[in-house]
Every structure is written in structure tokens, then in C-alpha cells.
Structure 1
Amino acid sequence: MLGGIQFGILAACVVLFVPMGMAGYHLSRNKMLFFSGALFITLAVGVHITPYFPSVSDFVSSVQSVVVFDNREDSCINLVNEVVWDLTPVVNTHDDDDDDDNKSSSSSSTSSTSSDDSSSSSSNGTVYDKNWSWSGTRKVKACEFQRLTKSDASDLLNGSWVVVAGDSQARLMAQSLLGLVLDAQRMDSIRGDLFKRHSDYEIVIPEIGMKLDFIWAPYVANLTDLMVKFKQNRSYPDVLVMGAALWHMLHVSNASDYGLALRSLRSSVVSLLPFSPELGTDGPVTGSVSVRSPHLFWLGMPMLINGMLNTEAKREKMSDETWHAYNRELRDSRLLRRSGGPLLLLDIQSLSWNCGPRCTLDGMHYDGVVYEAAIHILLNALLIESHQKLGAT
């Protein structure tokens, strides 16, 4: 399907090259000029009368809906998940464990800390120094992705309302984000409240005017209810990160039902946006209070290492086959931007797969370094979408 720019280029080529082709058949100059002028006038008139024909207008609207959720493969936003890992075993486990923790807390550019419910050691007891970076391919290098410092992240999120909603994976994401913008002492003081079982959490960081809400929402239906609440209150976060699958997989075990829930969520998310795919980008949706769209992210499922899952029920219901079925439903739901939807994927699947079993003890929750990488992916995506550079004012 052609966009507006491509259509204009095509029309220009027709006006230019068709008369030239006719000239090749030795038509008279007057006939050629007459045909070229008639063709130009026809195209010009067609452009102006298009809005008055519903079928053509519907076509244009469908083009606009594709442009809204741009999915160009060569754009930096589609390369931001391209992360590679360097996992190096630490020779002396006991002596170097404390050294590794100290090193990771003092230098985020070379090493990363782990979350409390994950360990930096693999299931065989070996400790690994885990480092990540963006891929070194030419296209990725051209995007100039960078790890943001505490200062850079604080500047980027200054005055923002951030909502992270979902299951335990989302809670780990909230922890990683707070760990980047808060000092270690304050982070230690809030970690217990953040990880209260199956509870919400909120915090305001007054020095940067940032508010973060974590919403416990283990099912997609919970996320849909949250979207309805935003719309009813006419109050929308600046950054929204959400994702849910693992609880549904364990307690419902029905991929088709999960897919239906995702489609319902997509409709609710689109209704929040200051444009409608059916109407284009010009008119606000009823109830909107601002033309600014929130930055929307979907937290992908991690890879599940079945043999490491810690209960028989998990090993039975969260099989590889079930995991793939749920992932297909996500792809087919058109919730993600790469399939024409509104949410940009934070690819935990790729991050956890490439970090592997050395980065998890239970085959489901991964070391903090995985979620740290996801946070920097998110922040770089925010920089791209807001057309900012590091250090820019």
C-alpha cells in the first residue's frame, strides 16, 4: 500500500516519463504537450476531489493508520533491542563474589548489579561477570545507542509520570528504573515496599519531579481495566510500560483466550491515543484532553527454561509449546508496533535467551542485568521518539 509521498513520486514519474515514451513513438510535439497537460490536470483535479468520495477517503485513512504506527525495518527504533552479551566466569567464586558486587555498583559502564530475587551465579554455582552492549553492526552503530547515566536519565524523565503495570517481570523493570535514578541508600530503603507480594507501589522523586506507579496487573484483563480507568479520569501517563502473560499461562492455560484478551487491550489502548487509526492523526478522540500521545511499551515474555522451573505445575503448564502458542497470539493481536499496533516491544525474550541459563536460578525470573538492559533500551527509544540527544537541553 502506497503512502502519500510515494504516491506523489509515482504521479510525478507518470507525468514526466509517459510523454517522453510517447515522444519515442514519434508523436508530434503538439500532441505530446496536449497529452502531458491533460494528464497533469487530471491528476491535480483527482487530488482535490478525493475527499468527496468515501471509498477513496477510506483508502487514504487506511494509509494514514499504517503511517501512524511506522514499522520501517531500517529505522533505529526497530534496532534498539539489538543487544549482545559477554558472560565471563569468575575464577574464585567466594572471594570474587563481594568484589563483583562492589565493582558493579561503582561502574555501571562495565558491569551490572543483580536483583534481589535473582543471583549473579548460575545453577551450577559458578559466578559470572555479565556485560551487555548493543550489537556492533553498521546499522546499529549508526544509531549511536548509549547507556544513560543517572543524570541523563533524570533529565530525560524530568517531570514525567511513569506507569509500569504487569506481573513480577514488570516489578523487576520498575526496580531497575528506580535503581538508575535513585542512589543506593534510598533504593535499599524502598526495595521492601516495592516487592510486597501482589501489591501496587508508588513513589514521587521530587528532585526531578518524576512520579512512578507500579500497578500489579498479572492478567491482560487487568491492563484493559487500567486503560479504562485512565480514560475515565482523563489522566494519562507520559510513559506506560506493561506486559502480562505468565499468570495466564499458568492459571488459565488457554492461548486463544489470551489472544482475545490482547485484542481487547489493543482496542482500549488505541482509544487512549490522541488520534484514531480510523480517522487519521488530525482529530482528537472524544474525551482526550491533550494531543500529546504517551510513550507506550510492551514488556515481552522471558524465555522459560522448563527444566529450571521450580514447581511441577509450572513445568507442566508452561511448556515450550505453550510458550510459543502465547507468543503467536501476541504477534497476531497487532498490539505491537512491528505488526501495526501502538506498543513498542521491549524484547525480554531476546535479552533472556541470549543471557541464557547463566542469568537465572528459576528459569523464569532473570538477573537484574537483563532488566537493566531493557531499561536502557526503553530510554534510548524515548530519546528517539522525542528527537533528543544525550546532553541536549
Structure 2
Amino acid sequence: MNIVIAPDSFKDALSARDAAAAIAAGLRQELPDATLHQCPMGDGGEGTLDALLAATDAERRTATVQDALGREATAAWGWHEASRTAFVELAEASGLQQLERGERTALHSTTFGVGQLILAALDAGARSLVLTLGGSATNDAGAGMLAALGARLLDREGQPLPPGGAALADLETLDLDGLDPRLAELEVQTAVDVDNPLLGPRGASAIFAPQKGATEADVARLDRALAHFADLAANVLDVDFRELPGAGAAGGMGFAARAFLGATLRPGIELVMEQVEFDTLLADADWVITGEGQLDGQSLSGKTPIGIARRAERFGVPTVALVGRLGDQWQDAFEHGITAAFALADGPITLDEALARCGELLSDRARTLARLWRVGANR
């Protein structure tokens, strides 16, 4: 039996690599003769850099940057010398997993560190950039990134705006003349894990800001601030990208990448599957196991389990999802290639306990699956 193990990370608990190892450990207890292919995946969020580095043999580098709260931090990025391609993961610099839960603030967090990573790539001589979006602690529509790259965002007094999406309500002048000129020669592909627009009920603020510490009032405030930013950007650029699918990714970074970097936005899971040559693994697979922290209706917008399942379905390979939680409308995943889905919790459990036991629970569920498959194979 050939089984492809292709999970995403489990936020605040396990990297994709560790999740794959935990699943494999459970399978081996019951299927010692099975061929297991561990293929950690990512859809643009945390862990995507690891998947890309493993697939391309790119060099892991680090840079000193500001984190989402403006503190000094060390962030990894990837460099492929032969193709002059840099891999930058937003979550490395401005990721939610970098912050304690009590520190999360969608109003004031910044993507400045992402701009610093892009500068490091330009200094290395990058001609191509793969920018992965997801897992962000930010909701500033890329304003911080722009500031790091040389743009000036000024209030009515001509003073630089403070960091964060809320400050964009006071934006009076968007001056792009100081943007690093090397950006004009940089080809940018952006991996996004959702197809949400920038604004409105499906926008960056309404859907994603609450998990970054935003209250209901904060969400309304941020949506107005980002709308004002989009208005000024449209005036400067003479084109409006606020409705672009994926513009709302990573707190509006999809919007900034397309509007100011000329990026091509692609579903992150498709980009990663292409890089790791996932179709080659599927050609000989009997089963695929995928997973991440939650499976729900939003997963259909481009999350890893659905991307994996859709691709496996083309090859006639069943896909099982092991997830931390089955959320609202998770059953819709059955219409998109998921054969079966299982939550990890084995009884009443707190979030902290679930996070601490994530590896153990993944192994247990994988072992249960293996026992079912073994029974079916022997009938």
C-alpha cells in the first residue's frame, strides 16, 4: 500500500513536517509494510517556506526584521542561486504564530518585516520572488511592507503614519516615488490561501481580523480604513484591485502584492503542489492523508486539504482529512474530493490541551485509519 501523507501545519501546535511525522508514526504501528511518502504542504501560510525549500533545494537564509509588533526578530527566507529566485513567507516576519495570544492586535500590527525580507532578496540579486501569504497577524493591507520598501504614507500634517491598519484612516498622501527601483525588474508570484476580496462581509477585516484580536467594532473600523487606503491607491495607480479574488489574503497583503508589486496571485496550494511534483506521488498512491487545524466552509476558498483532495480526485485516489476541528459547513468538503474527515479530539478537551497533545492525537487517528484499511483489505 502506498500512502501519501500531505498535511499543512496545525496552527500553534505542529509544523507541517511534524504533523506528517506524527501521522506516519501512527500508520507504521498497524501497516509496517506500507510505503509512506511524507510530503509536508502549505497553502501560503506558516510552513509553506519549508515545503518550498525541500522541493527546490533552495538555501535557507535569515534576516533581522521587525515582527508584527515592531520588535526585532530573526526571520528565515529562501534563496535559489541558479534561478535567482527568492522565497519569502509572510508568516516568518509578520506571522500570528510569532505572537502570544494576548499580544494579538489587528489594529496596530504591521507587515514592515515582510518588506525587509524582500529588501534582503533584492540585495542578494533576486530576479524572481515567490511571496507566500497566510498565517498573518496583520490587517494593514501591506502598508508596512510598502513603507519598508521606500514608499511614504503620510497624514494631513505630512507626518508618517504609525504602524497598523487602523492608522490608514488618517492617510492623506500615498507617495510611491521612493519605492526601491529594483522592484520594477522583479517578477513576483504570490501564493494566497483564500479568494476573499479586500473589503466587505467577505473581506480581510470581517473574516480574518477577529482571530487577530479584533472586536466587532475593530472590524468595522479596519474595513473603513482599508477602504480609504484602496481609494487613494486607485487614484495613484489609476486601477482598483479591491475586488480581486485573493486581495483579502493575509490582512490585505494580496491587494498590496498585486497593486504595488505587480504580482500574479495564485492559489498557494497549487503553487506548492507544482513545486513538489505532487502529481508524481499521486500516480502510484492508494490513499492520501491530509489535514490542518480546522476544516469548514472557508476551507473551500483554497485551503490545503481541499486543494489536495481536488488534485487526488483527478487520479481516483481517496483523501482523508485529519483536522483539529470540524467547523461550520465542513460537510461541503465531500463535494470537493474529501472522502472522509475526522476531528482529533478524543473527548471534552480544552484548546491548550488539544494544542499540547496534537502530535499524539494525530498518531492515534492515523492508527485507527490504518486498522480500518487493514480490515477492508482482508475481507
Q: Structure 2 length as normaliser, TM-score? A: 0.30
Relative to total residues, which structure has the larger strand share, 1 or 2?
2
Structure label with greater radius of gyration: 1
Relative to total residues, which structure has the larger helix share, 1 or 2?
1
Q: Structure 1 length as normaliser, TM-score? A: 0.29
